[in-house]
Amino acid sequence: MPDSSTSHLHRLHRRYALFTLSFIALVVVLGVAEQRGMPKAWIGYTFLVATVLVYAVIGILCRTTDPAEYFVAGRRVPALYNGMAAGADWMSAATFIGLAGTLYASGYAGLAYVLGWTGGFVLLALCIAPYLRRFGQFTVADFLAERFESRTLRLVGACAAILVSFVYLVAQIYGVGLITTRLTGLGFEVGVFVGLGGVLVCSFLGGMRAVTWTQVAQYLIMILAYLVPVIWLSVKQTGWPLPQLVYGQQLHQLAQREQQLIHDPGELQVRAIHQERAQAAAARLGDVPRALAQAQAEAAASVAALKQANAPLAQIQAAEKQRAALPRTAAEAEERWRRELAAEASMAQPLSGLALHTQPFAGPSAASADGDLAEGAQASEARRNFIALVLCLMVGTAGLPHLLTRYYTTTSVATARSSVAWSLVFISLLYLTAPALAVMVKTEVFNDLVGSSFDQLPAWIRQWQRVDPALLSAVDLNGDGRLQLGELRLHPDLVMLVMPELGGLPYVISGMVAAGGLAAALSTADGLLLAISSALSHDLYYKAINPEASRTRRVTLSKALLLAAALAAAAVASNRPADILAVVTAAFSIAGSTFFPALVAGVFWRRANRAGALAGMLTGLGVCLTYLAATHPSMRGLLGLSGPAPLIWGIQPAAAGVFGVPAGALALAVVSLLTAAPGERQRDFVNALRSPGKP
């Protein structure tokens, strides 16, 4: 593949310029075909097949059995293209799909993700990436083992990298399933495994070499897919094609519309219905075994009555399906009813629990009936969570194994620094647009969708409702035939995917957005799979078990393990875990708690030793996982924990790293100072690593 010479750079520029023009031409051709009657399903299949086929061709052309090519792309990737690949690696399904949805639902609070992720890249550029490139091996565990002269740290680092990458990978595969379902109409579970094929064709044969050049193509698709519909929507709403500069006027109109909806009589009726449902769920939680037995008895009686009355088979089957869907145990019932209570209580709030968009540090009930901000503890708690989340995302970014490995692929230390800068440039194109997108989508929902007749609701609502009512549903609760905001459940993960049709754009734009989301999910999934397989084959097998393994055997084993990890992640994702952003933020907290203190101390503190690094990594990981297990609703359900989550200072599980990182840093410092100082070899290693003259 290309190196950094001028002729190769020019060749790269020509190839990717041609690729970009070809993708634009494909969109135009499909748009014309749509106007002439081409079925939507064919458009979706065309986007899916065409883009995945391009990724597959790149993967096949970049196949290799050379470990240096497979694990670090031969260290010959130019800064511009490494920055673009890092941007694609970074802009996962959580960013492409989840960020706009989070800003839509949380308003000001969602900016924590923009600030934290951007700040994380600054930390990465200043504190870690150049030094890892100067070290010049394959993985993060390589650095820990060499810096602290410890085989144990290699094993701990490899296992932590596998854990972080797998959690993150599940979110990406989940996103792949959503997008594949949107493009093809297949069931979600089938879509997960169909999309998995797209992941594997990118990374299986060529490793980092194939992943790098595939990610460049994926970045170009995803940024076009993100910007084009937002610009179109901006022109529609404001008459101006730069949404980043003009969405302020939409914010002003949105604030006025929010106040109208808060006092709307129909909304008040729907909120009262949700309040009654929340009270019913709370009553069931008062005596879970009794409530469960009563629900099961009523369901059985309903089925028996229908059979005795010779009711139509469809009614009997529906009643039997409802009975089968009931919880089977008291613990399962409690977990489900707590979720129901939380959901109904949120929907009973003004604006269905959505925060006032411009209100800083607003809690769930900040939009009270008279429009006042809830004072005191709630605002303080929201402020603490905002700051804690920013810090967790910053240190988590600087500790993500698959992202750190990306900077092993550059030609030099200077190139590593430049590629981080390029990464920020490419990422900022999306990050500066996401807040504008959220405002414009909310404007469409509040002004055009809310208040519509149920008889005239667009077809895409029914389509998504069939995919999963938990993601999107519209039910006429008060029977007035008009859609209130409280009758619409729109999951944040769907905001980006439904945006084109919500804005009245052609379906071809929806297909392009889905293709962009697929590119985002595939690009990150490729990097994560490679990080997992590298940790297993290089750190655990080659370095710890069989140092005599041949180069071909190491790469072959990595490919087999990559396939196994992909299938395992798909199996977990098919069970529909929590929303994408919630899963991803857990991965960031784990990464920051485990890796950040050890990596920074390994570079900048000569007194840090192997005992301190080991204590710091295990303590940070243990504290973070303990807090996640004790407070995250899904994990509490798996562990059979009952009662409300024991939040410390009101910190949500998304920011669990705010406890793990200080605990890990403190343990590293204390244990390092209480044990023997590192030897001369480790001090020389740090001196060489920080020497400005070393390339």
Q: What is the spatial distance between Cα 476 and Cα 487, in angstroms, rounded to a whole number?
A: 6
Cβ neighbors of 233 (< 8 A, separation 6 or more) are 243, 437, 440, 441, 444, 499, 503, 505
Given this model, what pLDDT does residue 682 score? 86
Q: What is the spatial distance between Cα 268 and Cα 183, in angstroms, rounded to a whole number?
A: 37
Structure tokens that stand for 667 in this block: 């343990």
Write down the residue that tokens 């009262």 correspond to. Answer: 272
Residue 283: name the closest of 223, 344, 374, 348 by CA. Answer: 344
Q: What is the spatial distance between Cα 649 and Cα 662, in angstroms, rounded to a whole number?
A: 16
What are the backbone angles phi and psi of residue 369, rounded to the nearest 5°? -60, -30
Structure tokens that stand for 423 in this block: 């990464």
Q: What is the spatial distance between Cα 517 and Cα 623, in angstroms, rounded to a whole number?
A: 34
Given this model, what pLDDT does residue 390 score? 93
Q: What is the spatial distance between Cα 572 and Cα 570, in angstroms, rounded to a whole number?
A: 5
Given this model, what pLDDT does residue 664 score? 95
Alpha carbons within 13 angstroms on the beta-carbon side of residue 269 total: 12
Encode 214-231 in three state secondary structure.
Answer: HHHHHHHHHHHHHHHHHH
* Dihedral-angle region of residue 577 (phi above 0 means left; psi in -120 to 50 means alpha; beta otherwise): beta
Q: Where are the alpha helices (DSSP H) in 204-264?
A: 207-238, 243-263
Q: Kindly provide the residue ranges of all beta strands, DSSP E only, lying in 368-476, ordered along the sequence.
A: 472-474
CB contact at 8 A, 644 and 342: no
CB contact at 8 A, 292 and 327: yes
Given this model, what pLDDT does residue 27 score? 92
Degrees, nearest 5: CA angle 658-663-667: 160
Q: What is the spatial distance between Cα 216 and Cα 213, in angstroms, rounded to a whole number?
A: 5
pLDDT along the chain (695 residues), means of 10: 64 91 93 90 86 83 74 77 83 78 87 88 82 79 88 89 86 78 71 71 69 87 90 89 86 90 91 92 87 87 85 81 82 82 88 84 47 59 89 90 78 79 87 90 90 87 78 86 90 84 87 85 79 80 78 76 80 70 82 93 90 95 92 72 77 90 95 90 84 56
How many helices (H) and strands (E) are present in the chain, helices listed first? 30, 2
Given this model, what pLDDT does residue 579 score? 61
Given this model, what pLDDT does residue 3 score? 46
Write down the residue that tokens 């404007």 correspond to. Answer: 443
Given this model, what pLDDT does residue 492 score? 84
What is the reported pTM? 0.81
Given this model, what pLDDT does residue 365 score? 41
- Say how far residue 41 (Cα) sits from the centre of its chain: 27
Degrees, nearest 5: CA angle 125-128-131: 105
Distances (CA, A) of 627 to 96, 116, 157, 624: 28, 20, 21, 5
**DSSP 8-state class, residue 479:** S
Beta bridge partner(s), residue 472? 490
Q: What is the spatial distance between Cα 175 and Cα 47, in angstroms, rounded to a whole number?
A: 16
The SS3 call for residue 77 is: strand
CB contact at 8 A, 58 and 397: no
SS3 content of the chain, % helix, strand, coil (to 5): 80, 0, 20
Encode 583-648 in three state secondary structure.
Answer: HHHHHHHHHHHHHHHHHHHHHHCCCCCHHHHHHHHHHHHHHHHHHHHHHCHHHHHHHCCCCCCCCC
Q: Which residues of 442-454 are buried (b: 16+ CB within 10 A; e: fewer)?
A: bbbbbeebbebee
Given this model, what pLDDT does residue 366 score? 42
